[in-house]
């Protein structure tokens, strides 16, 4: 087995027929924490969508958690998504049910059956994000930061090989952003690989890590200067 959870070679990223990023070459190894930065509209979300099968890979070679992106079939996408944990800026929790039921919904949809196993797994992931006592609440009863913790817990349910987080702190104040970042750092220390798009340079300075930048239709690694 490869040590890479993601490997792209000469990939072009499109939105419909528009070329957004050209000749993308990148590799992410197991256990890495990688930032993806770049101006609004520079292609961060388009790249991430290509990685989780929302945009087809039409040019170049790409492997993600052992799926070949250029040969990915429609019916394989749910299987790929099970091996990825995706976290969005706007949390995307189901508003009509409690946190426990949000998490149970995902487990059932991904093939879990036993009630006991499901509730144990839910407890484990809520504990990882410091929300063990909040499972009975509805999303609207939680703060933005708490909702994002739940979204991270949801991403962890099926022990993903890669977590893709698209501006996870984009809707949060600076203090809450740091708290979410602490959660992501902890998860990374426990062995999870994370790719995180962000606009928040303060976070990158506080938690330095490998950084990729989308600029002018290309992606390259930026070297952080010591501060």
Ligand X SMILES: Nc1ncnc2c1ncn2[C@@H]1O[C@H](COP(=O)(O)OP(=O)(O)OP(=O)(O)O)[C@@H](O)[C@H]1O
Give the range of 26-34, 37-45, 61-69, 172-180 binding ligand X by CB under 6 A: 37-45
CA dihedral 87, 88, 90, 96 (to 10 degrees): -50
String marking each residue 168-207 x if it binds ligand X according to CB under 6 A: ----------------------------------------
CA dihedral 25, 162, 165, 37 (to 10 degrees): -20
- Residue 42 makes contact with ligand X by CB under 6 A: yes
Kindly determine how many residues on this chain lie close enough to bind ligand X according to the rule CB under 6 A.
Answer: 12
Contact in structure between 84 and 162 (CB atoms under 8 Å):
yes
Q: What is the smallest separation between the CB atom of 127 and ligand X, expressed in angstroms?
A: 31
Measured from the CB atom, the residue of 13 and 106 that comes closer to ligand X is 13
Q: Looking at residue 208, what DSSP letter applies?
A: -
Q: What is the smallest separation between the CB atom of 151 and ligand X, expressed in angstroms?
A: 17
At 119, is the secondary structure helix, strand, or coil?
Answer: helix
Measured from the CB atom, the residue of 163 and 219 that comes closer to ligand X is 219
- Residue 41 makes contact with ligand X by CB under 6 A: yes
Q: What φ, ψ does residue 18 adopt, rounded to 5°?
A: -85, 130
Which helix (H) or strand (E) segment holds residue 22: the answer is strand 18-29
Residues that bind ligand X (CB under 6 A): 15-16, 20, 38, 40-46, 214
């Amino acid at each position: 087995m490869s040590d890479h959870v993601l490997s792209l070679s000469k990939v072009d990223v499109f939105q419909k027929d528009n070329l957004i990023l050209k000749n993308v070459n990148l590799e992410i190894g197991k256990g890495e924490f990688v930032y993806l930065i770049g101006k609004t509209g520079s292609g961060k979300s388009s790249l991430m969508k290509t990685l989780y099968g929302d945009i087809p890979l039409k040019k170049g070679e790409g492997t993600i958690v052992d799926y070949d992106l250029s040969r990915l079939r429609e019916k394989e996408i749910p299987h790929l998504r099970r091996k990825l944990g995706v976290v969005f800026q706007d949390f995307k929790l189901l508003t009509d049910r409690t946190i426990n039921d949000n998490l149970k919904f995902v487990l059932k949809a991904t093939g879990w059956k036993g009630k006991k196993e499901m509730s144990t797994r839910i407890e484990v992931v809520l504990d990882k994000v410091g929300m063990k006592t909040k499972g009975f609440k509805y999303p609207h009863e939680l703060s933005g930061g708490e909702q994002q913790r739940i979204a991270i817990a949801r991403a962890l349910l099926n022990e993903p090989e890669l977590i893709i987080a698209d501006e996870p702190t984009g809707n949060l104040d600076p203090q809450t952003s740091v708290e979410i970042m602490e959660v992501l750092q902890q998860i990374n220390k426990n062995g999870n690989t994370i790719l995180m798009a962000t606009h928040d340079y303060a976070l990158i300075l506080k938690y330095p890590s490998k950084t990729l930048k989308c600029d002018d239709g290309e992606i390259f690694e930026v070297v952080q200067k010591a501060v």
